[in-house]
Amino acid sequence: MLFNSYEFLFLFLPLVLLGYYGLLLQKRLRLPFLTVASYLFYGWWDYRFCSLMLISTLIDYVAGKRIGASGDKRIRRRWLTLSIVSNLSLLGFFKYFDLAARTLNHAFSFFGAAEPFIPLLHIVLPVGISFYTFQSMSYSLDIYLGAAKPARSFTDFACYVALYPQLIAGPIVRYRDLAAQLVERTHTLAKFSLGITFFVLGLAKKVILADGVAPLVAPAFEQAAPGVFTAWTGLLAYAMQIYFDFSGYSDMAIGLGLMLGFRMPQNFNSPYKAVSITDFWRRWHISLSSWLRDYLYIPLGGSRLGPGRTYVNLFLTMLLGGLWHGANWTFVLWGGYHGVLLALERASGKRGLMPRAPLAMRRAATFLLVLFGWVLFRAGSLAQVAAMFRGLFGLNGPGGLIRAQIDATPLPYLLLLVTLAMAFAARNTWEIKWKNSWGLALFLAGLFIVCVATILVNTSSPFLYFQF
C-alpha cells in the first residue's frame, strides 16, 4: 500500500504503532512484529511478491554469514558472487526480461528473422524490487568489505530488508547504517514528534505539491505535437512533480522510521539549487548515488586509474544507474546523458564548466541541463522525446488545449509557481530549524487535514454506477 492512501493512514499505521508500542512490551518481539507487518504491507499489492523478497533475504543472509565466518578469500569471494548474481538475476528477470527480449527480437528481425525470436513474458514488475535487492546486496557487500558484521539473527536481517518505511521507494539504507540500530535504538517522544513532522511535511509534498502539478504533465508528454507553452509548463511541472514526489516519499519514510526509533539517511538536499551536474548528484537521491559510488564506481577503479578510465567509469556507472530506474532504453539514454555531463565536468577540472559565472547563472544552467534530462526520463519512446524537444524549441507552434487542460482548474498552474519558489528559494525539510511548539503543532495538524482531504477527494470520485 502507499503511504498516501486511506488504508495506510487509517488502518495499517495505527495498528502497527499500537502493536509496536502497546502490545509488545516485550522488546525482543518488536523486530519480528515489524517484519511480519512489513510483509503484510508488501503483500497488500500481491502476496506472491513476498516470496521473492524472502528468497532474496534468505540468499543474502546465508551468504553474509558465510562471508563473515570465513577467512579464506576465495570462499568469501564465491559467496559474494552468489549473492550478487542471484540478486541481479532476480532483478534482471523481473525487471528487464521483456526489454531484452524486445530488443533482441528487434535485432533479429533486422537480420531477416520473420518470427519473434524470444517470446515476451509480460512480467508484472514486483513493486520495490529495485530497492530491496540493492539493499539486500549491500549487506553481503558490506560484510565482504569489512564495513559490517553479520546480522545477529535472521529476524534482524529480514526486518532490515523488509522494513516498510523504506521498502518501496527508498532511501536505500545500507546495512552498515542500520546494523547498530537493529540491535539498540532509543524511543523518545522528541523522536516520535520529529517523525510526525517529517511524515506530515513529506505527505504534503507528495499529495499537495507533486500530485497538484501532475495534471500539467501528461498533456505535454502525451501529445504528438505539444505547443511551446504546453511543453515548457509540462516539463517544469514534471521536474517539480518528480522532485516533490520522490523527496516527499523519502521524508515520509524517514518520519515513519523515526516513529519506530530508526534514523535513516537524508536522501535529497535541494537538488535544483545545484551549481553543476556533479553537485546535482550529491543532492539528488543521495542514497542511490552513494550506493552506486561505493559498490560500482569505486570497485570499477573510480578515479585511481587515470583520467581516461575515470571518464569511462563515470559514464558506465551512470548508464547502469539509468537502467536501474526502469526497463526502457530512454532511461539508459538519460543515464548516459548524465554520464557524459559528469565526465565533461570532470575533464574541465574541479572548478566546473563555468567557473567565473555568477551563482544564479550556474544554477540556472545546471537546472536547464537537468530539465533536458527529464525529457528523456519521462518520455515513453524516442519519438516522444523528439516531439517534446520540437515543442520546447517552438517548432510545433503555440499548440492548442486538450481535454485534460479544459477540465483542469487554474490550481495546478498556481501550485507550479509555489513549487518553483520552494525548490529554488526555500529551505528544504532538513534545513528548517523549527522548534517543537504549539504553533508548529497546529500548522502540521492543519496540513495533515488538508492532505487527508486531498487524498480522499483524489481516490474517491463518486461511483455513479450504483444508481443504475
Partner 1 sequence: MDSLDEKERSWSQGRARAYAVLAVVGAVWMIGLVMDWYLRFAWFRWQQRLVFRPTSVRTMAQPPDLYVTNWLPERRGGDLTRLVGLQSFSERFEQVRPAGQQIVDGAGFRNLPAPPDLAHPIVVVGDSFMAAGEPMTNMFPLRLAELSGLPVYNRAMAGVGPFLSLVRFVDSDRFKNRRPRIMVWGFIEREAVRHGFSGMVYQLDIRDRGVKPAEQYELSATATRVVWPELAPQTLKQSLPDTSVLAQFSYRLWSRLRYALFGMITPDVYVSSGEVEGHRLLFLRRKMKVYAVDTQELNLADVTDAVRYTSEFLARRGVRLVVVLIPDKESVYRELMPAHEQQAPALPLSSLDDLETHIRAEGVPVVNLLPTFRERAKRGELLYWADDTHWNERGIQLAAEETWKVVADLLHENEGKLPP
Among positions 153, 266, 278, 303, the unique one binding partner 1 when judged by CB under 8 A: 266
What SS3 string covers 319-378? HHHHHHCCCCHHHHHHHHHHHHHHHHHHHCCCCCCCCCCCHHHHHHHHHHHHHHHHHHHH
Rank residues 305 and 449 by Cβ distance to partner 1 and give the closer one.
449
How many residues appear in the chain?
468
In the set 106, 122, 285, 325, the catalytic residue is 325
Rank residues 37 and 67 by Cβ distance to partner 1 and give the closer one.
37
* Number of Cβ within a 10 Å radius of residue 159: 24
Q: How far is the CB of 431 from partner 1 (least distance, A)?
A: 9
Among positions 28, 73, 74, 435, the unique one binding partner 1 when judged by CB under 8 A: 435
Is residue 57 within 8 A of residue 162, CB to CB? The reply is: yes
Decide if residue 418 touches partner 1 (CB under 8 A).
no
Among positions 19, 43, 265, 394, the unique one binding partner 1 when judged by CB under 8 A: 265
Rank residues 153 and 405 by Cβ distance to partner 1 and give the closer one.
405
How far apart are alpha carbons 206 and 9 in whole angstroms? 14
Rank residues 78 and 263 by Cβ distance to partner 1 and give the closer one.
263
How far apart are alpha carbons 71 and 178 in whole angstroms? 25
Among positions 142, 156, 177, 279, the unique one binding partner 1 when judged by CB under 8 A: 177
How far apart are alpha carbons 87 and 94 in whole angstroms? 11
Is residue 138 within 8 A of residue 170, CB to CB? The reply is: no
Decide if residue 26 touches partner 1 (CB under 8 A).
no
Q: How far is the CB of 430 from partner 1 (least distance, A)?
A: 6
* Number of Cβ within a 10 Å radius of residue 371: 16
Q: What residues between 97 and 136 interact with partner 1 by CB under 8 A?
A: none
Cell of 380: 515513453
**Residues near partner 1 (CB under 8 A), total:** 59
C-alpha torsion sign, points 155, 160, 164, 168: negative
How far apart are alpha carbons 313 and 284 in whole angstroms? 19
Q: The cell 577503479 sits on which residue?
A: 301
First to last CA, the chain: 31
Decide if residue 196 touches partner 1 (CB under 8 A).
yes
Rg of the chain taking only CA atoms, in angstroms: 23
Decide if residue 253 touches partner 1 (CB under 8 A).
no
Q: How far is the CB of 460 from partner 1 (least distance, A)?
A: 4
Rank residues 84 and 256 by Cβ distance to partner 1 and give the closer one.
256
SS3 460: coil
Among positions 81, 109, 188, 381, the unique one binding partner 1 when judged by CB under 8 A: 188
Among positions 21, 44, 117, 232, the unique one binding partner 1 when judged by CB under 8 A: 44
Decide if residue 206 touches partner 1 (CB under 8 A).
no
Decide if residue 190 touches partner 1 (CB under 8 A).
yes
How far apart are alpha carbons 271 and 428 in whole angstroms? 10
Decide if residue 184 touches partner 1 (CB under 8 A).
no
Stretch that binds partner 1, among 10-18, 73-81, 221-229, 334-342 (CB under 8 A): 10-18
Question: CA neighbours within 13 Å on the CB side: how many for 296?
Answer: 20
Among positions 25, 114, 189, 359, the unique one binding partner 1 when judged by CB under 8 A: 189
Query: Helices 329-347 and 382-392, interaxial angle, to 10°?
Result: 60
187 has catalytic annotation: no
Cell of 384: 516522444
Is residue 244 within 8 A of residue 205, CB to CB? The reply is: yes
Among positions 1, 210, 214, 392, the unique one binding partner 1 when judged by CB under 8 A: 1
How far apart are alpha carbons 89 and 446 in whole angstroms? 46
Rank residues 386 and 432 by Cβ distance to partner 1 and give the closer one.
432
Q: How far is the CB of 344 from partner 1 (least distance, A)?
A: 32
Decide if residue 5 touches partner 1 (CB under 8 A).
yes
Q: Which residues bind partner 1 (CB under 8 A)?
A: 1, 5-7, 9-11, 14, 44-45, 177, 188-194, 196-197, 200, 254, 258, 263, 265-266, 403, 406-407, 409-411, 430, 435-438, 440-442, 444-445, 448-449, 452-454, 456-457, 459-468
Indicate which residues carry an active-site annotation.
325
